[in-house]
Structures are given as structure tokens and as C-alpha cells.
Amino acid sequence: MSNRVACVTGGSRGIGRATALGLSAAGFDIVVASPEVENNEKVAEEIRAGGGKAVTADLDVSSADSVKEVFGVLLKDLTRIDVLVNNAGITRDGLAVRMKPSDWSLVLKINLEGAFLCAQQVLPGMMRNRWGRVVNISSVVGQAGSAGQANYAASKAGLIGLTKALAQEMGSRGITVNAIAPGYVATDMTKDLPEELKQKMLAAVPLARMGKPEDIAAAVKFLVSEDASYITGHVLAVNGGMYM
């Protein structure tokens, strides 16, 4: 691999897949990282079919050991990771008063702690190279809250705080750290929502359509580009006007 290298967690589908494909089209070599080994390979094949370079990583961001081991191998094999997109995330919805502690913990562990652990692995190399981009995929829910999603909202709001702290720590090394807060995007995560809820959410979007994974990927592509080199600590809302 000779181009800059971008690692996308949760890269096997949805926003992660679109981001991996978009960054490949922009000239990055890609690491597709998730526990969905077969889907990782499908995305990597798609990238290669389009003339890009891609490798896969069986990464479980809920495990500190997995994160350390996988990034250790990647950094040895690829020598560097220039861009990290922290996209891995899950939901375990339920009203706060009835939420199981295990559902609270798992969502925080994957969505927030996982992003921190991955950043911790790649930042030293970025500091040495005096260039790097970290993009954390937050959510409109982290900005506005959402009934029945206390765990998810807390994890995504936490990502915004993490983004701003890392941006302040890393700025002098030529590393930018930004967040994207997607709105209502058509993915596997949203397709199982009750139809009534989907219509209600859609009614709250001034642009009157759901977002596409490619809408988020385009924002990632901008934030990791040289055009965005003076933007850091920013939360870019890509939500069709759902929350302003």
C-alpha cells in the first residue's frame, strides 16, 4: 500500500461501507474493520473491483485486547494509518427506567469506549508523521436526545466530548479530529424501526427525505481532505435539517 491509509470501523455495511468506498474513490488505501468477516471481504472485493486497494480486519471494538492486537498487526503490515473513521456502533433501545444495566454498558462500550481505544492505537503514529485525521460518527441523537435511547444518546454525546478533547490535544501535531452527526439515514439499523416511527421522523426533516449512507460518506471525505485542514473539533450535522 502506497497511498494514505484509512481505517473504517464498522466498515462492513451501511455508513461504514459507503465511507470505505468513498475514501477509496478519493485515493485512500482502505482497512475494512468489523467483526463481520464475510461482509468485510465483500466490501474489500468491491473496492478492489473498482481499482482500489483494501485489506480487512476482524475487529471487535468492545474488546481492548482485540483493538490492541488488530491495530498492532495493521500498523506492522501497513506501517501507518493516516485516517481513522470511528463508525462502529450499536443500539439497545429501551426506556431508561427499565433499561438493563448490560444494555447500557454494551452500547457505551462499543460506541464510545471503542472509539477511544481505536484512536489511542493510531494517534502515536499520526503524531510521529505530523499528519492525521480522526472522524467520529456521532448522531443527531447525541445532540437532541431521543426517548428510549438514553444509552445511545449518552454514547453519541460522549463522542462529541471526546472529539473536542482530542482536537485540543492533537492540533499542534497536524492532526484534526472532527465528528459527524448523521440524522435519519436509511441503513440496516433504521430499516427495522416501526413504520409509524419512520413517518414521524421523516415529518421532522425539512428536506423531506431520509439520508443515504453516501451523504455521510461525502462529509467524511471532505473532513479528511486537505480542503478541511483548518477544521478541527467540529461537529458536522448531516441531517436534512432535522435538528438545527
* Given 152, 184, 230, 243, the catalytic residue: 152
| Residue 14 belongs to some domain of the structure | yes
Query: How many folded domains does the chain comprise?
Result: 1
| Residue 207 belongs to some domain of the structure | yes
HSE, CB side, 13 Å, CA atoms: give it for residue 133. 27
pLDDT, position 2: 64
pLDDT digits (tens, 9 = 90+) for 67-91: 999 999 999 999 999 999 999 999 9
| Residue 244 belongs to some domain of the structure | no
In this prediction, residues 28-49 reach a mean pLDDT of 98
Here the CATH number for the domain that contains residue 207 is 3.40.50.720
Per-residue pLDDT band at 189 (split at 50, 70, 90)? confident
List all residues 6 or more positions away from 110 whose beta carbon is below 8 Å from its beta carbon: 61, 62, 88, 89, 90, 155
- Whether 198 shows a pLDDT value over 90: the answer reads no
pLDDT digits (tens, 9 = 90+) for 156-165: 999 999 999 9
- Whether 1 shows a pLDDT value over 70: the answer reads no
| Residue 228 belongs to some domain of the structure | yes
pLDDT, position 151: 98
In this prediction, residues 41-65 reach a mean pLDDT of 98
| Residue 57 belongs to some domain of the structure | yes
| Residue 243 belongs to some domain of the structure | no
In this prediction, residues 194-212 reach a mean pLDDT of 92
- Whether 219 shows a pLDDT value over 70: the answer reads yes
What whole-number percentage of the chain has pLDDT above 70?
99
The parent domain of residue 15 ranges over 5-238
Can 152 be counted among the known catalytic residues?
A: yes
Q: Cell digits for 90?
A: 450499536
pLDDT digits (tens, 9 = 90+) for 91-102: 999 999 999 999
pTM of the model: 0.97
| Residue 123 belongs to some domain of the structure | yes
Is the dihedral angle over the CA atoms 223, 123, 14, 37 positive or is it negative? positive
- Whether 185 shows a pLDDT value over 70: the answer reads yes
Residue with cell 447500557: 104
| Residue 142 belongs to some domain of the structure | yes
Burial of 146 (0-12, 13-18, 19+ CB in 10 A): middle
pLDDT, position 64: 98
